[in-house]
Amino acid sequence: MKSPAPSLLYEGFGDNAISLKVFFWTKEFGESGKIKSDLIISITQAFRSNKIVMPFPQQDIYIHNANNPEKKE
């Protein structure tokens, strides 16, 4: 529904995100899942169109062979 208008609440900054809550209203409760999905798809497309990349957490893992340890001098 256009009235009342959707609203956005900023919740905070995370390590790899800006946390938001989007509030919207529907005429029928059963429509909310489809509308939420459409909204997420639209936001994703807008990010791609504007070359906005969402960072993802990264971890580096180093594996050392216990049977053949590196020589330390």
Kindly tell me the burial class for residue 35, based on how many C-beta atoms sit within 10 Å of its own C-beta (0-12, 13-18, 19 or more). middle
Q: List pLDDT tens digits, range 5-33.
A: 989 999 999 877 889 999 988 888 899 99
Q: Given this model, what pLDDT does residue 7 score?
A: 93
Q: What is the pTM of this model?
A: 0.61
Q: Tokens standing for 57?
A: 């957490």
| Gap between the Cα atoms of 22 and 7, Å rounded | 6
Confidence of residue 34 (pLDDT cuts 50, 70, 90): very high
Q: List pLDDT tens digits, range 46-56.
A: 999 999 887 77
